[in-house]
């Protein structure tokens, strides 16, 4: 007799089974199903370790106890999908402390062999081989953990914004031009016209501020056609975008980012223990206020502490971000805002003092990596047109946006956060591609 509550976690009619982690040693009989993770053949005794999404369980086939099942299991292969009905018994050696004495054994699907990639054994394979065989690589418990953690992280992030009254939006991925235009765009053929994949939803978020939506967020996708070869860039990016109106200044935007990130990290620390364990991560939630330093202070700090001078004096370079990250992390601050870049882009609000220009732009550096860029936007269209003329930006590409903002726009600001980078840093992965199920880079379009 099956134990009550042993059906799958929803009540849809599915193959009867429970998760391996839910197998209690005092149950009479349970059904489990999953992939064959490991096979240990000891003569009259076969141990199968079966893996489902939540964990592993050992099934012990004894020739003298269940000769028919023992015969059937002789043909089993790694990664076959099996279902076992059996009696749980306590066992010191088994993973999870419980093993199954089988009553029924059925193979739902056989796996081809040999496997091009080992799932169970901890062999060192380079990332490119892993990604070539991503379909199998994704089966590894520690890889699956990255993505179940991501799911929990983003659910918590969205929960924060939902509770704060932000509207969940969807902006187009196909556009006539880019947010900033230029070489970073992927051109596509749109019927008989040229179009581009979206680089950022920023213009649309701002149009929604003009439209009176007040506070919005979007879990979306952005495309960058840069020809990079780094451990922190990909061509298709998961982006979390936020925009809010009636702000006093960019500090209100930073407050939102700080609170929401802390909330999401706290949720992971509390609800993703198994994943953090599998990934061997000791996640510290930044409970203190994130330091907010000016761009000039960041430059001074890099010079005096590390003798480092970024090549471009109007931006921090990768090394600069890394050094700043280390400096603040040592003081217990994994996250730090750098505020007031001398960035003269037309869409940022500028603070001008004499001939010093500081834009109300900020970056969030988390564990030494730029996680997001944002700031207070310029909402006065006349000022924007002036700056565009000075900077030589083609107004025609932005006419739909400038027009939309011209009909009354509240002061507003926002940011775009790279979800893949956030996940990379939270899980302590070396390369951003490990934090993406099927990453895209200049050389990889498959799988």
Cβ atoms within 10 Å, residue 70: 18
Nearest 5°: CA angle at 17, between 11 and 23?
110
Find the distance separating the first CA and the last CA of the chain, reported in whole Å.
44
Residue 79 annotated as part of some ligand binding site: no
Residue 130 annotated as part of some ligand binding site: no
**359 interacts with Mg ion by CB under 5 A:** no
**427 interacts with Mg ion by CB under 5 A:** no
Supply the minimum distance, in Å, between the C-beta of residue 279 and ligand ATP.
20
Nearest to ligand ATP of 371, 429 (CB atom): 371
Nearest to ligand ATP of 78, 231 (CB atom): 231
Residue with tokens 């649309």: 204
Cβ atoms within 10 Å, residue 191: 5
Nearest to ligand ATP of 19, 425 (CB atom): 425
Of 110, 141, 133, 126, the residue nearest 20 (C-alpha):
141
Residue 124 annotated as part of some ligand binding site: no
3-class state of residue 86 by DSSP:
strand
Q: Could you give the CA distance from residue 385 to residue 394 in angstroms, rounded to a whole number?
A: 10
Residue 83 annotated as part of some ligand binding site: no
Enumerate binding residues for ligand ATP (CB under 6 A): 224, 226, 233-234, 237, 239, 370-373, 416, 418, 420-421, 432
Supply the minimum distance, in Å, between the C-beta of residue 426 and Mg ion.
19
Of the residues 373, 376, 378, 427, which one makes contact with Mg ion according to CB under 5 A: 373
Whole-angstrom CA distances from 277 to 87, 147, 239, 283, 427 are 28, 14, 26, 10, 10
Supply the minimum distance, in Å, between the C-beta of residue 87 and ligand ATP.
50
Supply the minimum distance, in Å, between the C-beta of residue 359 and ligand ATP.
13
**235 interacts with Mg ion by CB under 5 A:** no
**Structure tokens that stand for 313 in this block:** 């004096």
Residue with tokens 């900077």: 391
- Is the distance from CB of 232 to CB of 369 less than 8 angstroms? yes
Instruction: Encode 87-111: b = buried (16+ Cβ within 10 Å), e = exposed.
Output: ebeeeeebbeebbbbbeebebeeeb
Nearest to ligand ATP of 58, 424 (CB atom): 424
Judged by beta carbon distances under 5 to 8 A according to partner kind, the member of Mg ion, ligand ATP, none in contact with residue 367 is: none
Alpha helices per DSSP H over 236-313 = 250-271, 273-278, 295-306
Supply the minimum distance, in Å, between the C-beta of residue 378 and ligand ATP.
17
Supply the minimum distance, in Å, between the C-beta of residue 228 and ligand ATP.
6
Judged by beta carbon distances under 5 to 8 A according to partner kind, the member of ligand ATP, Mg ion, none in contact with residue 420 is: ligand ATP
Residue 90 annotated as part of some ligand binding site: no
Nearest to ligand ATP of 187, 410 (CB atom): 187
Binding residues for L-aspartate: 180, 224, 373, 377
Binding residues: 180, 224-226, 232-234, 370, 373, 377, 418-421
Binding residues for Mg(2+): 370, 373
């Amino acid at each position: 007799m099956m134990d009550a509550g042993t059906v799958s976690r929803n009540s849809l009619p599915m193959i009867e089974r429970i998760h391996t982690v839910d197998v209690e040693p005092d149950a009479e009989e349970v059904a489990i199903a999953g992939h064959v993770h490991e096979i240990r053949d000891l003569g009259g005794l076969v141990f199968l370790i079966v893996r489902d999404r939540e964990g592993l369980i050992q099934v012990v086939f004894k020739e003298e106890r269940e000769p028919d099942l023992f015969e059937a299991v002789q043909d089993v292969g790694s990664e076959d999908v099996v279902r076992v009905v059996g009696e749980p018994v306590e066992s010191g050696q088994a993973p999870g402390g419980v093993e199954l004495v089988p009553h029924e054994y059925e193979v739902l699907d056989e796996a081809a062999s040999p496997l091009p990639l080992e799932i169970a054994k901890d062999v060192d394979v380079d990332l490119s081989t892993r990604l070539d065989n991503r379909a199998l690589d994704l089966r590894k418990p520690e890889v699956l953990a990255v993505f179940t953690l991501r799911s929990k992280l983003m659910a918590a992030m969205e929960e924060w914004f939902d509770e704060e009254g932000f509207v969940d939006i969807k902006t187009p991925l196909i556009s006539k031009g880019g947010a900033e235009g230029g070489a970073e765009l992927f051109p596509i053929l749109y019927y008989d016209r040229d179009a581009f994949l979206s680089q950022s939803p920023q213009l649309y978020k701002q149009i929604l501020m003009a439209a009176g939506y007040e506070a919005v967020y979007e879990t979306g996708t952005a495309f960058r056609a840069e020809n990079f070869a780094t451990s922190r860039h990909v061509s298709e990016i998961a982006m979390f975008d936020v925009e809010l109106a009636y702000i006093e200044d960019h500090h209100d935007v930073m407050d939102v980012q700080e609170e929401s990130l802390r909330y999401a990290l706290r949720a992971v620390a509390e609800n993703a223990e198994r994943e953090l364990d599998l990934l061997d991560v000791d996640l510290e939630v930044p409970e203190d206020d994130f330091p907010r330093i000016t761009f000039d202070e960041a430059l001074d700090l890099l010079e005096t502490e590390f003798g480092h001078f970024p090549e471009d004096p109007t931006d921090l370079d990768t090394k600069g971000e890394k050094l700043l990250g280390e400096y603040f992390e040592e003081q217990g601050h994994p996250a730090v805002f750098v505020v007031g870049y001398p960035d003269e882009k037309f869409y940022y609000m500028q603070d001008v003092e004499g001939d010093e220009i500081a834009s109300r732009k900020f970056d969030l550096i988390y564990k030494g990596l730029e996680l997001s860029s944002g700031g207070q936007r310029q909402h006065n269209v006349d000022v924007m047109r002036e700056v565009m003329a000075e900077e030589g930006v083609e107004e025609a590409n932005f006419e739909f946006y400038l027009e939309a903002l011209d009909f009354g726009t509240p002061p507003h600001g926002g940011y775009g956060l790279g979800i893949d980078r956030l996940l990379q840093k939270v899980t302590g992965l070396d390369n951003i591609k490990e934090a993406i199920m099927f990453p895209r880079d200049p050389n990889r379009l498959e799988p």
